[in-house]
């Protein structure tokens, strides 16, 4: 750890014998780890943040070989995955809704070892999110590579502004500003670049006439001009409602087009994003022609399986296919891992499976009683030291001048609210005039929960000047589903508190006064179904503030919405 020393130099003035003492005001004094007051705002300094995943499944099920990996390949809330390939380079993106920056992009050479190389939407000009709810913002980005102009595209929906795409020649670098697609209504667009150089956009939208039932949607297609960067010609419906219209299928969405061995395939999700989720496949003779459904659809689902099965994977769907350099096909898709089939706080995660082919030439992932596997083999690959799957630990000491790509904020970069340079070696957070229940940008710097069982710890130096100021660790599902483990003012002392935040306000679950000026350590222990919240001061042992706190309160089953739960560092002077 770096340390800052301040030397006071006292010296007699020549010829007068008088001493001049150099007095340093506290507004100019900064010692590593102490809180400064900037104007009227208190500042909390966080020394580190540690995350240790410890799921039972991974501990009890060792991988059988070096060419094996765990599903999900991206644990935690990485929903709506899309993938593309260029040679032996693979790129994968997922949804981010109202978090900033938007659309994480991962790179791999073998589909097994993935590394996040940044975000596609990392500038405010690309990502206007102000005023949108947590589950608003960016829906279902789709990444494609056009070999005719050697350009990568990501097309997506910002539900607050409409459909748009960005592009680049170098996916490791910056992406363009948004190019709007005003004629593409609805959500979930994706590009298809055909072998003849023509291009198309498919997406979810309302049917041609009035919807005949709740959830009645359609898949549309329109040609796209890659030179003019705009759609051309008429739009056409490819799927009305879903595979079996007489059964009133709901929420046909997330479409992708492929050309494989001379045939065009249209793949889409169906059944909503919950337990009835599935993926269906159709085959046609032209991107704007007639598509016929596979008689054994769905080509992926887990909805009909015994809910009491061990280690259930549910909600499987929203897939994308990719062909490897060797010629075989794989698929990424989203799914969930509920605890005892009750709930999960991790959100929809990214899974990877090899594609199988039916005798009549249709791709599929599961049929009948097939389970989505938690352990998969990809021959010829070898796990590297750092992987995105299984149990892992992360310690962030805030010794860099920028956060890693796994860190995120809400709606804006919030750069005016946190700093890594004002107190080097610490993350400093200003107590903002907004809180995490508002559709604004709070002083909240966070990362995804990625395991059912985990421990998070931090240490904070914080001496609030007002009763309404608080700083600590926040567990955040949405605007009105949060747990806040905080340090705040209590008369002449401080206190550590756990608050449950809901639409009706903030309820204090537990509180304990602190009668010293030591740094306060905070710990969250996730047991899957419950959380324990602990604290300590200085180097003293941990004390439990609250035990067996309901984790289901932060789950999608309880709160709804499209995101998983995040955890991070938070400061506010506007408690709910």
Tens digit of pLDDT for each residue in 515-549? 999 999 999 999 999 999 999 998 889 999 999 99
Question: Is 519 in the same domain as 440?
Answer: yes
pLDDT for the residue 539: 86
Neighbour-count burial of 359, counting CB atoms closer than 10 A to its CB (0-12 exposed, 13-18 middle, 19+ buried): exposed
Given a contact cutoff of 8 angstroms between Cβ atoms, the answer to whether 30 and 20 are in contact is: no
What secondary structure does DSSP assign to 466-504, as a single string? STT-EEEEEEEEETTEEEEEEEEEETTEEEEEEEEEETT
Say whether pLDDT at 29 is over 50: no
Mean pLDDT of 267-272: 97
Question: Do 347 and 426 share a structural domain?
Answer: no
Query: Do 360 and 397 belong together in one domain?
Result: no
> Distance between CA 152 and CA 143 in Å, rounded?
7
Is 19 a residue whose pLDDT tops 60?
no
Question: Which CATH number characterizes residue 527's domain?
Answer: 2.60.120.200
Domain for residue 27, yes or no?
no
For the residues 480-484, what does the mean pLDDT come to?
Answer: 98
Mean pLDDT of the chain: 92
String of DSSP letters for 295-324: TT--SEE-TTS-TTSSS--EEEEEEEEEE-
In this predicted structure, the answer to whether residue 511 has a pLDDT above a threshold of 70 is: yes
Q: Which band of pLDDT confidence, cut at 50, 70 and 90, is reported for residue 30?
A: very low
475 vs 554: CA distance, rounded Å: 8
Q: What is the residue range of 41's domain?
A: 35-53+392-572
Q: How many domains does the chain have?
A: 2
pLDDT band at 41 (very low <50, low <70, confident <90, very high): low
Kindly state the average pLDDT of the residues 46-50. 98
Q: Does one domain contain both 363 and 231? A: yes
Same domain, 87 and 47: no
Asked whether residue 201 falls in the same domain as residue 294, the answer is: yes
* Active site amino acids: 80, 253
What does the pLDDT look like over 1-14, one tens digit per residue?
333 333 222 333 33
Same structural domain, 359 and 407: no
Reported as a single tens digit per residue, the pLDDT across 176-219 is 999 999 999 999 999 999 999 999 999 999 999 999 999 999 99
- Does the structure show a pLDDT above 60 at 15? no
What's the CA gap between 175 and 126, in Å, rounded?
Answer: 9
Taking residues 54-58, what's their average pLDDT?
A: 97
| CA nearest neighbour of 221 among 260, 264, 168, 176 | 264
Query: What sign results for the dihedral spanned by CA atoms 240, 242, 248, 253?
Result: negative
The answer to the question of residue 1 being in a domain is no
In a domain, 225, yes or no: yes
| Percentage of the chain lying above the pLDDT 90 cut | 90
**Whether the Cβ atoms of residue 464 and residue 486 lie closer than 8 Å to each other:** no
Prediction pTM value? 0.93
Residues 333 and 398 both lie in one domain: no
Predicted pLDDT at 16: 33
CB-count burial class (<10 Å; 0-12, 13-18, 19+) for 502: middle
Pairing, β 253-260 against β 230-240: unpaired
Do 43 and 117 belong to one domain? no
Please indicate, yes or no, whether residues 471 and 504 belong to a single structural domain of this protein.
Answer: yes
At which of 377, 405, 424 does a domain end? 377
Give the closest residue to 313 by CA, choosing from 332, 331, 339, 279: 339
Q: At 202, which CATH number? A: 2.115.10.20
* pLDDT at site 538: 85
Determine the average pLDDT of the residues in 142-146: 98
Average pLDDT over residues 367-391: 96
What one-character DSSP code corresponds to residue 218? E
Is 250 within the bounds of a domain? yes
135 and 103, same structural domain? yes
Asked if residue 333 and residue 459 are part of one domain, the reply reads no
- Specify if 6 maps to a domain: no
């Amino acid at each position: 750890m770096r340390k800052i020393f301040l030397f006071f130099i006292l010296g007699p003035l020549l010829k007068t014998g008088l001493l001049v003492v150099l007095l340093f005001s506290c507004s100019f004094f900064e010692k590593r780890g102490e809180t400064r007051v900037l104007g009227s705002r208190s500042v909390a300094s966080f020394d580190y943040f540690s995350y240790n995943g410890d799921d039972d499944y991974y501990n009890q099920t060792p991988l059988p070989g070096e060419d094996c990996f765990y599903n999900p390949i991206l644990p935690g809330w990485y929903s709506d995955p899309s993938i593309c390939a260029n040679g032996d380079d693979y790129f994968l993106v997922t949804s981010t809704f109202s978090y900033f920056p938007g659309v994480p992009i991962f790179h791999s050479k073998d589909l097994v070892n993935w590394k996040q190389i940044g975000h596609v939407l990392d500038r405010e000009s690309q990502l206007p999110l102000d005023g949108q709810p947590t589950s608003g913002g960016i829906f279902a980005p789709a990444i494609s590579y056009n070999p005719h102009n050697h350009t990568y595209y990501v097309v997506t929906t910002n539900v607050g502004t409409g459909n748009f795409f960005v592009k680049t020649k170098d996916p490791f670098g910056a992406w363009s500003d948004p190019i709007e697609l005003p004629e593409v209504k609805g959500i979930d667009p994706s590009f298809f670049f055909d072998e003849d150089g023509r291009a198309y956009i498919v997406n979810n939208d309302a049917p041609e006439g009035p919807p005949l039932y709740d959830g009645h949607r359609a898949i549309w297609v329109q040609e796209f001009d890659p030179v003019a960067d705009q759609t051309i010609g008429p739009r056409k419906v490819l799927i009305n409602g879903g595979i079996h219209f007489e059964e009133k299928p709901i929420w046909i969405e997330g479409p992708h087009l492929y050309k494989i061995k001379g045939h065009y395939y249209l793949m889409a999700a169906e059944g909503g994003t919950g337990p009835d989720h599935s993926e269906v496949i159709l085959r046609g003779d032209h991107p704007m022609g007639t598509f016929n459904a596979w008689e054994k659809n769905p080509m992926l689902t887990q909805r009909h399986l015994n809910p009491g099965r061990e280690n259930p994977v549910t909600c499987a769907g929203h897939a994308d296919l990719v062909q490897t350099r060797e010629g075989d096909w794989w698929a990424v898709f989203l799914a969930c891992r509920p605890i005892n089939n009750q709930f999960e706080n991790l959100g929809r995660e990214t899974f990877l499976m090899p594609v199988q082919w039916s005798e009549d030439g249709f791709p599929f992932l599961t049929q009948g009683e097939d389970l989505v596997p938690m352990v998969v083999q990809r021959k010829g690959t070898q796990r590297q030291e750092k992987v995105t799957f299984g149990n892992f630990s992360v310690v962030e000491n805030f010794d860099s001048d920028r956060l890693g790509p796994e860190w995120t904020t809400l709606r804006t970069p919030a750069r005016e609210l946190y700093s890594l340079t004002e107190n080097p070696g610490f993350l400093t957070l200003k107590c903002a005039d907004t809180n995490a229940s508002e559709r604004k940008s709070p002083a909240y710097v966070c990362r995804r929960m990625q395991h059912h069982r985990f421990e998070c710890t931090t240490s904070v130096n914080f001496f609030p000047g007002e009763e309404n100021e608080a700083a600590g660790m926040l567990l955040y599902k949405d605007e009105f589903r949060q747990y806040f483990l905080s340090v705040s003012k209590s008369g002449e002392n401080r206190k550590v508190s756990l608050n449950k935040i809901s639409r009706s306000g903030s309820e204090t679950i537990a509180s304990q006064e602190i009668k010293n000026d030591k740094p306060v350590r905070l710990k969250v222990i996730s047991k899957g179904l419950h959380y324990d919240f602990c604290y300590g001061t200085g180097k003293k042992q941990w004390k439990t503030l609250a035990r067996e706190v309901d984790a289901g309160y932060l789950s999608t089953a309880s709160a709804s919405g499209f995101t998983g739960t995040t955890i991070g560092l938070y400061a506010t002077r506007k408690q709910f």
